[in-house]
Amino acid sequence: MNKDLLDVLTAMPSFFAGYEEEKTRLPVGSAGKNAISQLTFERFGEKTHLVDVFNQQPAKIMRELYYDPYRPGLPYILYVNPTGGIVQGDRYVYEYHLKDDAEAFITDTMATKLYKMDLNYASRRTDIYLGDNSRLEYMPKETIAFANTRWYQCTVFHVNETSKLLYSDIFCPGRIARDEFWDFDIFSSKLIIEKNGKIMLIDNALYRKEDKQAVDVIMGGYKFLLNTYWYSKNAAKAKNLIEFKSVYGGSTEMPYQDGIVIKALSNSLDELKSFQLGLWGIFRKAETGTEVPELRIY
C-alpha cells in the first residue's frame, strides 16, 4: 500500500489542529503520558503463545490466561490501566501481530474513561496485523466520554483472504447517571480494514458538542452505540442468526462479501453488552464450531 495514502486516511480531523498547540500541565511525551503496547502471537502445536511483549505505562497487560474449555490453546489478554483513565496529553499506541494460524482474545479489565480536558487532547492509534488463517477476537470494554473531553482514536486492521476478525466496541457519550449526556468537546473514531495493500473498508465517525442539538437524529433517541466488525467469508452466511430483539440495530455486508458491519443502539448498557456477547458466540461458532466460555475479566 502507498504509505502516504494510509497516512492521509488515518490523519486526525482538522478540528484537533488548535488543540495540538496547547501545552498540558505534564508535557506530551513525558513519563506516564506515552502508552505503548506491542504484542506478537505465534502458534506452536495446539497452543498460541505471546512470544514478544513490550509495554510502556500506562499501557499494561496481565499475563495471558488460558481458561477456555472450548479453546484451551487460546490466550486471553486483559489490559489494565493503573491510572484509572485517560487525561489530556495522553498518547496511546498499540500494535498487535498474529502470525500464521495464531488466535487470541483481547479486552480490558475496565471501561476506557476519558476525563475532562481543558487543554490539548488524548488519542489512541492501534495497528493489527493478521497472518494467514489467524483469528482475533477483540472486544474492548466500553469507552465513556466525560464532559469536556477531546478524543481521537484510529484502529487499522491489516488482513488477508484467510485471516478472521471480530472487533466490537461500545460508545457511551457521557456519564448518563450524572446527567452528562453528549457534553464532550469532540469524539472522533476511525476504523480501517486494509486487505493485501488495498483499502477495503473505512468507518469514520466525528461527533462534536455542537451536535447535541441533533442528537435525536444521530442516536435515534438512544443513549449507547455498539459497533461490530466481523471480517470473514463466513459472516454473510451467519448474518441471519443475529437477533435484534433487545436492541435497535442492523447489519450490512462489507465489499466483496468479505464480512459484515453491525450497528446497534440501546438505552440499556447491560442489554447492549449482552447483545455483544451474543455476537461473540455466533462468531466463534461460525468460525471454529465451538462455544464461548463465560468471559472472566480479572
* Every domain of the chain and the residues it spans: 3-288
Q: Which of 20, 15, 18 is nearest to 186 (CA)?
A: 15
Place of cell 466496541: 169
Distance CA 231, CA 206 (A): 23
Residue 96, classed as helix, strand or coil, is strand
Q: How confident is the model at residue 296 (pLDDT cuts 50, 70, 90)?
A: confident
Residue 297 has pLDDT above 80, yes or no: no
Q: Which of 257, 256, 259 is nearest to 279 (CA)?
A: 259
Distance CA 250, CA 275 (A): 12
115-123: average pLDDT: 94
Query: What is the biggest distance separating any 2 CA atoms in the chain, rounded to whole angstroms?
Result: 56
pLDDT for residue 24: 79
Residue 172 and residue 284 in contact, taking contact as beta carbons nearer than 8 Å: no
Q: Kind and range of the H or E element at 283?
A: helix 269-288
Residue 32 has pLDDT above 80, yes or no: no
Q: How confident is the model at residue 127 (pLDDT cuts 50, 70, 90)?
A: very high
Q: Which of 229, 150, 160 is nearest to 192 (CA)?
A: 229
Task: Kindly list the strands in the beta sheet with 122-130, ordered across the sheet, starting from the edge strand earlier in the chain.
Answer: 47-56, 34-44, 91-98, 122-130, 150-159, 186-195, 198-208
Average pLDDT, the chain: 94
Q: Which of 64, 61, 71, 79 is nearest to 281 (CA)?
A: 71
Residue 92 and residue 65 in contact, taking contact as beta carbons nearer than 8 Å: no
Distance CA 147, CA 241 (A): 38
pLDDT for residue 290: 97
The percentage of residues in the chain with a pLDDT greater than 90, rounded to a whole number, is 82
Q: Calculate the alpha carbon distances from 27 to 56, 87, 148, 189, 225 in Å.
A: 17, 12, 19, 24, 33
Strand boundaries in the chain, DSSP class E? 34-44, 47-56, 60-61, 76-80, 91-98, 103-108, 112-114, 122-130, 135-138, 143-145, 150-159, 164-172, 186-195, 198-208, 224-231, 248-253, 259-266
pLDDT 10s digits, 166-193: 999 999 999 988 889 999 999 999 999 9
pLDDT for residue 31: 63
Distance CA 209, CA 203 (A): 20
pLDDT for residue 62: 85
Place of cell 466500553: 142
Distance in angstroms between the alpha carbons of the first and the last residue of the chain: 39
